[in-house]
Chains A and B, each alone.
Chain A
Amino acid sequence: MTAAAAFHTAADSVAPKAPAGSGVTFDRVSVAYRGAVVLKPLTMTVAAGEILAMIGPSGSGKTTALRAVAGFVRPASGRIYIGGTDATDLPPCERGLAMVVQNYALFPHMRVSENVAFGLKARGAGRDLIARRVEESLRIVGMSQYSRRFPRELSGGQQQRVAIARALAVRPRVLLLDEPLSALDAQIRRAMVEEVARLHADLPDLTILYVTHDQSEALTLADRIAILKDGELSAIGRTGELYHRPPNRFAAEFLGRANLLPVVVEGKARDHGFVGVRIGDAKVVVSGDDHPAGSRRLMCVRPQNLTLTGDAERSNSIEAELREIHWQGELTHLVAAIGESILRVVATRLPNPPARGDRLSFFFSPSDANLIVEEAGV
C-alpha cells in the first residue's frame, strides 16, 4: 500500500463542521473592491476530484476568485457552494479548505513538522493522529528527512513541498493553489508540475483549484481550464477540447500559438459535427456546427497540427508560400503566407527542408480545426 493510499483510507476526519462533499460551485459570484468590480458575476463548477486550472492575464481576477472561495473576500453578490453546501457566510476556518500561496508563507518560527501539524493542532486533533498525518504528508511530498528543519533552512522547491504537505495534512475538501510554482526557476517548476500531477494521481478524491498565469502548467495539470479576462469568464472546458478547439480568439491565443485564418462557410459537411469552409481557393472541412452557409468565420488551427505534405491533391490541405524557416534543434518553425494571412507551422522532422518561396501544402485533421466567431472590437 502506498503512502497515499493509507492517506485516504483512514476515515478519521477532524473537520466535522466543514461542508460535506468536495466540489466548488460559483453561483453568479461577483466581487468589488471599494465599488470597483473586479470579478463580474461568475458561474462555474469545480467537480469533486478534478483539477480545474484558472488562468488569465495579470489582474484578470484569478486570485480574487480563489480568495472568495477561501472566504477572505466577501462576494458583492452570488453564492459559493463547497460540496453542495452554501459556504458564502462561513468564516474561513470553517470551510474545510487548504491553501498554498505564491510565497508559501511557511511559519518561520515553526519547524517543518510543526508547520505541517499546524492545521490539525488548530482543529484540536489528537496527538497520535497528528503524528501519523504529519509523517504521511511529509512522505507524500518526499520531505520526511527535513522535518526538524526551519523553513529558512530549505530551498524554494523544498519550502513549496512543505507548504503542500501542510495543506494535505488537514485532508482538505478542496486544495486552493495560487500560483504555487511561480517563485521557482523554470527547471524546478517543470519537475514540480509533474509532482503535482503525480500527487493528484495518488489522491484522486482531492479537488484542486489551481490558479496560474502559465498556460503550460495549466495544460499539463488540469482536467479542465477556465480562462478569465478582465474579471470575466472568457472560456471554460476540458483541457484538450479547449486547446484544440478554443471557442474564441482570446482562448485560442492565451493557450498557445494559434493560426486564425479568415474563412467563408460553405455548408454542413457529410459527417455530423463538421462543416465545409472555403479558404482562398481551397475547400476544407473543420469541426463545428450551426454556422450558416456564407458567413465569415476565423478558422483556428494550432501550428503543430499542420503537417507538410508533398501531395497537393490531398484532401483537407491548404497551400501557402514559405516566407521563413527557422530550425531550432528539436523543432522547425515555418512561416508561410496564404494571401494576406500568415500561417505558422511547427514541424518535428523535415526530411527535405523546403526553401523560401516554395509553394507548400499543409494538411490538418478536421477535428484539429474549428471556427471562431470574430467578436466585435477584438
Chain B
Amino acid sequence: MLVWSLSGRVLVWSFAALILGVIFVAPLAVIMLASVSQQWNGILPTGFTLEHYRDAAGGAERDAVFASLVTGFVASLLALVTGAWAALALRARAGRWGDALGVLFFIPSAVPSVSVGLGLLVAFSQKPLLLNGTTAIVFVAHYVLISAFAFGNISAGLSRLAPDYEEVASCLGARPGYKLMHVTLPLIAPYLVASFGLSFALSMGELGATVMVYPPGWVTMPVAIFGLTDRGDIFTGAALTMILVVTTLILLLGLERAPIRSAAPR
C-alpha cells in the first residue's frame, strides 16, 4: 500500500471505484440492461423481455457466433504456432538481428486495424494471391493483428526459462525435437495458454479490419453488432454483445483451468 492514512485510503478507493464504475462497468451495465428491455425512452428502460436473445439466437446472429468462434480459434492457433516458432528461433540468435526482427512483429499492432484491412484487401486482390471475398482473408487479417501479442507473450516466457533444464536434457541424450516437446514447451505451457487466450479475446472483439475484408457469408459477431446498431436495432445488438462477452469469458475461464501439469519453474 502506498497510502497509509485512513482518509487517504478511502479517497484512493473511492477514486478507483469511480473510474472503474464509469469507464468499465457503466457501459457494460447499460448494454446488459438494454439487452433485456422492451423500451428505453426515459433515463431507465422499461419492461423486461428475453425477446432480443431469442432474436439473437436465430439465423444470421447464430451464424455470427459460429463465424467468430471459428475465426478466433483458427487465427489464435496460427498465431500460437508461428509465435512460438518465431520466439524459439529468435531466442537462438539473440543479438541485434533478433531484436530487430522482434520489433518487426509488432508493427501491425501500431497501425490502425482499418488500414491493415485495407492493405490486405489490396495485397490479396491479384491473381496468384486472390483472397478477396474468401473466409481465409478474415483469418489472415485476425492473424496479422494478434500474432505480435502471441509472439511477445511466448518470448517473455522463454526469456524466463533458465537454460539449465534444456542443457541437462540434451546432455542426457535428448535430441532437439524431443527436448522441445518434452522440456521446453511444457515448461512454457502457462505462457502458451495465456497467449492463446489473449489472441482469442482480441480476435473475438476485432472489428476494424474485419469490416474491410469480410465476405458475405462470414459475418463475425462484432460486424453483426455493428450492423444491427447501425440499422437502429440497438436491443438485439446489445443481446448479441452480451453473448459475445459471455462466450469469450467462458472460454478464457476454461483456458485458465486447462489441466497443464506444469509448475512454473521455481
* A interface with B by C-beta (< 8 Å): 15, 70-72, 91-99, 101, 103, 105, 107-109, 118-119, 122-123, 150, 152, 166-167, 170, 176
What residues of B have a CB within 8 angstroms of the CB of A91 in the complex? Answer: 170
Min Cβ gap B165→A in Å is 5
Q: In the bound complex, do residue A107 and residue B165 qualify as a contact, i.e. CB atoms below 8 Å apart? A: yes
| B174 in complex: contacting residue of A15, A103, A122, A152, CB < 8 Å | A122
What residues of B have a CB within 8 angstroms of the CB of A96 in the complex? Answer: 173
Chain B residues 233-266 with CB under 8 Å of chain A are: 261-266
What residues of A have a CB within 8 angstroms of the CB of B168 in the complex? Answer: 99, 101, 105
Q: In the bound complex, do residue B172 and residue A167 qualify as a contact, i.e. CB atoms below 8 Å apart? A: yes
Give A70 to B183 CA distance when docked, in angstroms.
18
Give A228 to B86 CA distance when docked, in angstroms.
40
Q: In the bound complex, do residue A166 and residue B172 qualify as a contact, i.e. CB atoms below 8 Å apart? A: yes
Given contacts A92-B170, A109-B187, 20 further A-B contacts (CB under 8 A): A70-B171, A92-B171, A93-B170, A93-B171, A93-B172, A93-B179, A95-B171, A98-B171, A99-B168, A99-B172, A105-B168, A107-B183, A108-B266, A118-B172, A122-B169, A122-B173, A122-B175, A122-B179, A123-B173, A167-B172
* B interface with A by C-beta (< 8 Å): 162, 164-165, 167-176, 178-179, 182-183, 186-187, 189, 261-266
Pick 24 A–B contacts, CB within 8 A, sort by A: A15-B173, A71-B170, A92-B170, A92-B171, A93-B171, A93-B175, A93-B176, A95-B171, A96-B173, A101-B168, A103-B164, A105-B162, A105-B165, A107-B165, A107-B169, A108-B263, A109-B189, A109-B262, A109-B263, A118-B169, A119-B173, A119-B174, A167-B172, A170-B173
- How many interface contacts (CB-CB < 8 Å) are there between A and B? 79
Q: In the bound complex, do residue A109 and residue B186 qualify as a contact, i.e. CB atoms below 8 Å apart? A: yes
Q: Which residue of A lies closest to B168 (CB)?
A: A105
Q: In the bound complex, do residue B261 and residue A109 qualify as a contact, i.e. CB atoms below 8 Å apart? A: yes
Min Cβ gap A88→B in Å is 16
Give A93 to B263 CA distance when docked, in angstroms.
26
Q: In the bound complex, do residue A152 and residue B266 qualify as a contact, i.e. CB atoms below 8 Å apart? A: yes
Q: Which residue of B lies closest to A169 (CB)?
A: B172
Min Cβ gap A47→B in Å is 21
What residues of A have a CB within 8 angstroms of the CB of B186 in the complex? Answer: 107, 109
Q: Which residue of B lies closest to A97 (CB)?
A: B171
Give A119 to B162 CA distance when docked, in angstroms.
19
Report which residue of A72, A93, A94, A150 has the largest number of chain B beta carbons within 10 angstroms of its beta carbon: A93
Q: In the bound complex, do residue A122 and residue B266 qualify as a contact, i.e. CB atoms below 8 Å apart? A: no
Counting from the closest, the 7 A-B pairs by CB-CB distance are A119-B172, A105-B164, A122-B174, A92-B170, A109-B262, A99-B171, A123-B173
